Chain A
Amino acid sequence: MNHQSAVNSYRDALDLSGAFIRRTNLSGVNLEGADLSGADCTNVDFTGANFKNANLNKTILRGANLTGALNVSRRQIAEAITDKNTILPQHLLP
């Protein structure tokens, strides 16, 4: 069993609701369907992460870097708590 198959084997959505994960690096992580509600993701690096159907209700995204993040919608961002330091993906920039 090689490592690549290991990488591809975990398909369930992550549950990180309420987690305190400030300043962590979650770049490139597949957060499809993940529950990040109420999580403190201040200054988290989400570069290139996939947010398809992720629950961002009251997720603290202050200073978080979402450059190149995939499938993030305006609705998700509206539900989250952001500030002027939050770096949004290109398609959500005003």
Chain B
Amino acid sequence: MDILSQATSEIFRNYAFVAGGCFGLYLAWLRVTAANKQAAAQLKQTDLARRDHVSELFNRAVGQLKDKKLEVRLGAILTPEQICKDFPDLSGPVIRLLTTYLKENTVKYGDKRPPVDVQVITKILREFKK
């Protein structure tokens, strides 16, 4: 009888271990899932922050395109180019902006070489509109 009750208690103990282990695994799974969700939310947050930054850069570039200084205009052209590379989904507005700049550019340079800003824009078109 003693042997039987001892065996029974051992079986119960083993079941309890297994149940405890399963519960532990469940808790670990919950924790990992929560951590994954948190990481995904953080990534989304970072992406949104970056997009905000990019929008700000884009707006600033728009404002600088009409600047009298060539170097400022060049910066205003090269910044959107980088945006195109980093955020391909934003390349549409960038290309539209640059082609509008080409259309509105009132500098008639005759038969001389095109100004540097025009050359840079056409280089960007060659790169992004293949």
Residues of chain A whose beta carbon lies under 8 Å from any beta carbon of chain B: 1, 3, 5-10, 12, 14-31, 42-43
Contacts and interface: CB of A to CB of B under 8 A. Distances in A.
Most chain B C-beta atoms within 10 Å of own C-beta, residue among A10, A16, A17, A42: A10
Given A3-B85, A6-B85, A24 B119 contact: yes
Interface of B: 84-89, 91-92, 95-96, 99-100, 102-103, 105, 107-114, 118-119, 122-123, 125-130
A20 B111 contact: no
B128 A21 contact: no
B122 A21 contact: yes
A15 B99 CA distance: 7
A8 B85 CA distance: 11
A28 B126 contact: yes
A51 to B, nearest CB: 13
Nearest to A17: B103
From B100, B102, B109, residue with most partner A Cβ within 10 Å = B102
Given A10-B128, A19-B102, A42-B111, 10 more contacts: A7-B127, A12-B92, A15-B96, A15-B100, A15-B103, A16-B103, A21-B118, A21-B122, A25-B123, A43-B111
A67 B122 CA distance: 18
A29 B118 contact: no
A14 B99 contact: yes
Contacts of B86: 1
A40 B123 CA distance: 18
Nearest to B108: A20
A30 B91 contact: no
